[in-house]
Chain A
Amino acid sequence: MGSGETNRDGELLDLTASSRRGADEADVALLLEGTYPLVSGGVSSWVHQIIQALPEIQFALYFIGSSPDAYGKPKYDLPANVVHLEKHYLSTALEAGAPKSFRSCPAAYERSSQLHDYFREPKQGLPGDLIQAFFGELGRPTGLTRSNFLRSKESWDQIVNSYNRHCTDPSFVDYFWTIRSMHAPLFYLADLARSIHPCKAFHSISTGYAGFVGAMLRHLHSRPLILTEHGIYTKERKIDLFQAPWIRDAAEVFSDRLEDDIGYLRRLWIRFFEGLGRIIYDAADPIVSLFEANRERQITDGASRPRTQVIPNGVDVARFAALRAKRADPPPPIVGLIGRIVPIKDIQTFIRAMRMVCSRIPTAEGWIIGPAEENPEYAEECKDLVAQLGLENRVKFLGFRRPDEVLPQLALLCLTSISEGLPLVLLEGFAGGVPAVATNVGSCGQLIRGIDEADLALGEAGALVSIANPPETAAAIVGLLQDAQAWKSAQQAAISRVETFYTQGQMVQRYREIYRQAIDN
């Protein structure tokens, strides 16, 4: 596959010869964009956890990164059931080579144009024959090749046509290069997909470029594509595209309004990833999200409801259960906020709420547990606010601490974030016997109140409050701290919920079933 060849290491890292049998031995190919095993983080830990927990399944890993120099050494020791690892980099896709000859393919452009019309209509399903033809001719010498896309008159005409019809940004040169640089990787990815050894099942850990390869593999080999989304790719991409950290937060708060303010070209990028998302949702089954709200979001973005399912993250309950006994009874009135000190966590609302809590319960304390390095300016503001409100002795900044260390000392967890996914800290707190007051964002409602009948019946594991509302937050905290009965029942609900629905064992079991079904299909 041309230039891609040089970037595929072939070098199988620290894989030892005895246990590595090669791509043809793999049951499942994992498609990993900018994550495991070269990048550490929540998603990577999750992948590592799944691979380790399913030793009976052989995995081939396909890492897709931006450019080789953006990543260091692997961050994980690969488990024995990883039989193959390849690394591919998109940067090579943008290095346009000399123009090669190409065949004219007006029909392919016509189909591409039709497909784009579908992308502009978010509610419509994608027509199967168009998608099939698209994957069939993408990058094929007889179809739509990269040279053709980069050099041909047909390609130019289509770009000009779309610019004239849709673009509201005046700069043609920007539009032109945006279109080019967003589509050029698809040809590289198509070549990559054709080079991947067919497996019994493909599993992509995001939509985006990795998901696109997955969708193409699904069409090439008629083997199932499993999709797991930890976040929502387009939403994260949108944040990437803003690039400035302060916009990231503003974008979360004023998501709708900002949509109108951002430039056309940025919206184009977002729409591009939304389009990719729809192709991927169309190919993937099952489509897994971590919690209910994200599932709804997937459905809004084009996933078909029957294929979607929620598999929440699970925690090692036994490890945290041991902490429960270490807590004094009754617990001292200490409220902990575990998280990075950044605006998205809205630490200042927590501090203001603690002012009101301390007026009612003078012995109460608020602990802010988390690193401040990411946004020192904001951390400074928070400390100033603590001083202004005269809370120096009541609100403490502890820096990073291990949960095992702080959880036994807390009566309550508080989460004032304006945006969350599935916060692991709540699950860990629940397992450790700490109920929580949390804002109603992401999956927090699901974690505090429950989601279905059986879950709701377990009761509330604390309280839900609206965002940026110190009085409501304070009232909820005071309510739980002053009413021992309420606290006890919230703790009980928290423990039952995490033990019933959010254990690591359950999560692994569900993936085991998904893989089994896909492999046997």
Chain B
Amino acid sequence: MAGIGFELRRLLRDQSFLGLLRGYGYAGLITSGPWVFSIVGVLLIGILSVGQFNPRPEIALFLVSINYAIAISLIFTGSFQLLFTRYISDRLYEHRDDLVIPNLAGALTLIGASGGVVSGLILAFFFKESLVYKMLMVGIFVTLCEIWIVVVLVSGLRVPEKILASFFIGYALSVGGALALRPFGVNGLLAGFLFGQVVMLYLMVAVIIHKYPLAKLVQFNFLDRQKIYLSLSATGFLFNAGIWADKFIFWMNPETSSPVTGLFRSSIIYDLPISIAYLSIIPGMAVFLVRIETDFAEQYEAFYGAVRDGDTLNHIQKLKASMTYTIRQGVYEILKVQGMTVLLLLLAGSAILRFFGLSHLYLQLYQVDLVGVGVQVVMLATFNVFFYLDLRLIALLLSMLFVSANIALTLLTQSLGPMYYGYGFAVAVSFTSLVGLVILSRKLRSLETDTFMMAG
């Protein structure tokens, strides 16, 4: 994602306040992009449709369906996304730009086909909805999967405006389409949503095709065992599973959820507060993109450049120190900015809940979720640094820790009672971040030693 970060920093260098705001605004939206947009979009469709429907469960069905599609597609592609991104960045490092498009096409084909088959089978066997509903859901699931793959690649390009434009157009069409097709009930909503998503996917693919040479149509080189890191697959899967574990637990527990359709259950207590809390992630993600993805990435390049090109040890150590400083500053800044945001949103808590039409009873859960989501940005930054330093094993262990902590602590909070809901996720994220930062600081201390002594 560093590519876009550099472009954004150029914007940030325009010292004007407006330029600054624009830079960070772009950064935040792009990094948290599709996720936040989808929450906003879905909430918007939901809010705008209130009162328009009879019977009302149609909207609930729509919201839950989309929510599941997002969650499962993220976990499903999680096992592939990191692995594929790494494959592509390695090829770009080798100046094999010609391999990008054919392999992207290959990846989209593979993910599309497998996602279609899996979701189709699940829907066919476990759901009693109409065939149209099932087909639309398969379409949405496959499209979302493809979007998660494409969005990482597209954000490596230095074209923030185009990316934001495709997000915006896509979600405008999703919301507009869903509202326009409301008369057709849940299927209308889904069809409208799907339409916008498909347009968004094509727009992003168009941006990529415009940037890279079109050599061959489809290739599956990314499956070459010699060129990929399977641990990244496990890490990606576990990380995403970790993010969603607490939600699934709340959906599965009959005490905290109710059935919607087929396998879908929803947790009225849990879902909305955390969705709203996720909207707060934008400022932190903006800082993350600029400080970690860009400043750190640059320092990292300088460090390894110095090692490779035969710099003095003194200079290598200085570069390491400044790289360490950048990481520290990045984490502080994320905490600072995200902390301020969380503080403001805590103060405005009651008003925000009122705006979304939620009861005051949700306030505490909302507050805990705000903190948890904020710390999630730090956790993301930590993982990211591990990926840069190529400490894949640590990233894998950390993702295991995260998913098991989230499962264990969420189950614990469920047995402790509603007062504790949300703490499972918040504590799991904080604990994982803390452990990650401690390991990171150790690893950084011996970085030059390990770089030399563990090579070859």
Report the minimum CB–CB distance from A268 to chain B (whole Å): 15
Shortest Cβ gap from B135 to chain A (Å): 52
Chain A residues whose C-beta falls within 8 Å of the C-beta of B308 in the assembled complex: 173
**Residue from B310, B449, B454 in contact with A171 in the complex, judged by beta carbons closer than 8 Å:** B310
**Cβ contacts B300-316/A at 8 Å (1 or 0 each):** 00000001111111001
Q: Chain A contacts of B453 at CB under 8 A?
A: 150-153, 155-156
Judging by beta carbons under 8 Å apart, are A170 and B454 in contact? no
A164 at the interface (CB under 8 A from B): yes
**In this assembly, does B452 line the interface, its C-beta being within 8 Å of a C-beta of chain A?**
yes
Q: Which residue of A lies closest to B456 (CB)?
A: A96
Interface centre among B316, B452, B454 (most CB of A within 10 A): B452
- Is there a chain B Cβ closer than 8 Å to A117's Cβ? no
A160 to B308, CA, bound (A): 17
Closest to B308 in A: A173
A174 at interface by CB-CB < 8 Å: yes
Asked if B449 and A153 make an inter-chain contact with CB atoms under 8 angstroms apart, the answer reads: yes
A400 CB within 8 Å of chain B: no
How many A-B Cβ pairs are below 8 Å?
36
Q: A153-B449, A156-B449 are in contact. Are A174 and B310 (CB under 8 A)?
A: yes
Beta-carbon nearest neighbor of A94 in chain B:
B456
Produce 1/0 per residue, A25-68, CB < 8 A to B. 00000000000000000000000000000000000000000000
* Chain B: minimal CB distance from A145 (Å): 14
Whether the pair A156, B452 counts as a contact (CB closer than 8 A) is yes
Q: A442 to B316: give the CA distance in the assembly, Å.
A: 47
CB pair A160 B313 closer than 8 Å: yes
Whether the pair B454, A99 counts as a contact (CB closer than 8 A) is: yes
Name the B residues within 8 Å of A174 (CB-CB): 310
Q: List 26 A-B contacts (CB under 8 A).
A: A96-B456, A150-B453, A151-B453, A152-B453, A155-B453, A156-B449, A156-B453, A163-B313, A164-B313, A170-B310, A170-B311, A170-B312, A171-B310, A171-B311, A171-B312, A172-B310, A172-B311, A172-B312, A172-B313, A172-B316, A173-B307, A173-B309, A173-B310, A173-B452, A174-B310, A176-B452
Interface string of B436-456 (1 = CB under 8 A from A): 000000000010010011101
Q: For the side of the interface on B, what is the size category? A: 10 to 19
- What's the dominant secondary structure at chain A's contact region? helix
Taking Cβ atoms with an 8 Å cutoff, the residues of A that contact B are: 96, 99, 150-153, 155-156, 160, 163-164, 170-174, 176
Q: How far is the CA of A197 from the CA of B9 in the complex (A)?
A: 69
CB distance from A175 to the nearest CB of B (A): 8
Shortest CB–CB separation between residue A462 and chain B, in angstroms? Answer: 53
CA of A163 to CA of B449 in the docked complex: distance in angstroms? 14
CB distance from A469 to the nearest CB of B (A): 44
Which 3 A-B pairs give the minimum distances between C-beta atoms? A171-B310, A172-B313, A170-B312
CA distance A174 to B307 in the complex (A): 10
Encoded as 1 (CB less than 8 Å from any A CB) or 0, chain B from 277 to 314 comes to 00000000000000000000000000000011111110
CB distance from B301 to the nearest CB of A (A): 16
CB distance from B448 to the nearest CB of A (A): 9
Give min CB distance, A91 to chain B, whole Å.
14
CA distance A208 to B283 in the complex (A): 65
User: Could you say which residues of chain A place their CB within 8 Å of the CB of B311?
Assistant: 170-173
Q: How far is the CB of A156 from chain B (nearest CB, A)?
A: 5
B residues in contact with A173, CB < 8 Å: 307-311, 452
Q: Which residues of B contact A156 (CB under 8 A)?
A: 449, 452-453
A152→B453 CA distance, assembly (Å): 7
Since A151-B453, A152-B453 are in contact, a sample of 8 more A-B pairs with Cβ atoms closer than 8 Å, ordered by chain A residue number, is A99-B454, A150-B453, A153-B449, A171-B312, A172-B310, A172-B316, A173-B309, A173-B310
